[in-house]
Amino acid sequence: MQPLPGFRDFLPNDCARRNYIFAKWREVARRYGFVEWDGPVLEPTELYTKKSGPEIVGQLFNFTDKGEREVALRPELTPTLARVVAAHDREFKKPLKWFSIPQCFRYEKQQRGRLREHFQFNADIIGEASVDADVEATALCIDLLRGFGFSASDVVVRVSDREFWIDFLRAQNVPEEKWQETLQIIDKSEREAREKTAAKLGPLAEPVFKILDGKGSSEKLDRLVTALGARGLAEFVQIDLGIVRGLAYYSGVVFEAFDRGGKLRALAGGGRYDKLIDQLSDGAVSLPAIGFAMGDVVLGELIGEIPAAKALMEIAIASERDLDIYIVIAKEERRADAFAQVQSLRDGGYRVDYPLIPAKVGKQFQTAEQLGARVAILFGDEWPQVKVKDLRSGEQTLVAHPEVAAKLTALFSA
């Protein structure tokens, strides 16, 4: 018995890693003043075809529901965001700084770093067209990665500008209906033999490669990098006009985050999409926006490979997982007294466990250590005193049972 191909079971260790990633995403996003929202996992299929064309259906988990509705598991969150923002436009003061952690689904061939479901952090700033919003969005992307313990020698955010390329295409007299195709060729060029790209580009090959090989920039990108420098984040960012991103709707700054080793797929990617909300809401609401997404799968791989990041994760996981106190019941006559103690300690916020059924004292101490307990409290012959044992130092103290709480406060604050 297996999960479906491309879907994951999250056993306790996997779930702890997932929770760690989610908690870090939330923590950093909140430091930036972003607020969390979410949409449904299932949406009308039309929401996605409207944005991406009918070809997207081939990659969806889509079906007809029992009410004859065409529906799909969400492949991404942006169309839902446009729907929600358009429907509630008047309720929220702009700019919005919103984030979400949706699970998204695509029916496609599985590859390393690419399953049929994944979780992705999404952040969007809606209602502000200036490069100042681009600065905040890229800074958040960098600080999320820093939050996981990556340094500038581990990761880089490559920034580019769609407008630069649109200006170029216009100057080269490329007809507008060819723009999207040409941009996709440039987007792929990094992963393709130069001759192949050149053949596709034809007469455009020479000027395009000149740009890709050079250190080209735009005024907007220079402002972006200067502002990130004012935050002390310069070493994490690199202007790279080779980043174009495949999707048609990007309209300004675009960026992607990578491991410096270049071994993995992109860690994150996004950009400005000033016309998309207008398009998806049929012109009802027009708001400029910039957003990006960071998936959990490639990120998890890189955390596993960078020792500092892995250590940070393991410390956080242990502190979420480990028990505070294990109650050892050495005499079954003391079980009811132990229950009262268990209850009052849990009420006090401690993580507490005990043997559900009678067990040998040695085995109980073993369980206490396996569960990572810091302290064991033994209920036995010493009653109405109990033995409080610090499982790190091995030190034991006899304590009158009403004094246990005070003793623990001392131990845990030491």
Site for its own copies in 167-196 (CB under 8 A): none
Q: Would you give the end-to-end CA distance of the chain in angstroms?
A: 48
From 65, 181, 192, 235, residue interacting with its own copies (rule: CB under 8 A): 65
Q: Which residue in 95, 252, 269, 291 binds its own copies (CB under 8 A)?
A: 95
User: At its nearest, how many Å lie between its own copies and the CB of residue 73?
Assistant: 7
For residue 280, which of 38, 43, 104 has the smallest C-alpha distance?
A: 43
Give the C-alpha separation, 268 to 145, whole Å.
10
Interface residue with its own copies among 84, 201, 234, 248 (CB under 8 A) is 84
Report the residue from 90, 93, 191, 215 that binds its own copies according to the rule CB under 8 A. 93
User: DSSP labels for 89-148?
Assistant: GGGSPSSEEEEE--EEE-----BTTB-SEEEEEEEEEES--SHHHHHHHHHHHHHHHHHT
Encoding tokens for residue 173? 């007299």
Binding status of residue 76 toward its own copies by CB under 8 A: no
Q: Which residue, 16 or 312, is less far from its own copies as judged by CB?
A: 16
Nearest CB to its own copies, comparing residues 128 and 161: 128
Tell me if 370 sits within 8 A of 322, measured CB to CB. no
Residues whose CB falls within 8 Å of the CB of residue 106, separated by 6 or more in sequence, listed in order: 59, 60, 61, 75, 116
Residues 326-355 that bind its own copies (CB under 8 A): 335-337, 339-340, 342-344, 346-347, 349-353
Task: Considering only residues 102 through 121, tell me which ones interact with its own copies, judged by CB under 8 A.
Answer: 103, 105, 107, 117
> Which uninterrupted H or E stretch holds 376?
strand 375-379
Cβ proximity to its own copies: between 79 and 185 the closer is 79
* CB-nearer residue toward its own copies: 266 or 373: 373
With tokens 């740009």, the residue in question is: 211
Residues 356-395 that bind its own copies (CB under 8 A): 356-357, 370-371
Interface segment toward its own copies; rule CB under 8 A; list 85-93, 173-181, 263-271, 298-306: 85-93
Q: Which of 89, 113, 143, 179 touches its own copies (CB under 8 A)?
A: 143
Confirm or reject binding of residue 320 to its own copies (CB under 8 A).
yes
Name residues contacting its own copies, limited to 18-47 (CB under 8 A): 18-19, 30-33, 35-44, 47
Contacts of 14 (CB under 8 A, 6+ apart): 8
Minimum CB separation from its own copies for residue 327, in Å? 10
Give the whole-angstrom CA distance, residue 261 versus residue 320. 31
The neighbour count for residue 195, using CB atoms within 10 Å, is: 9
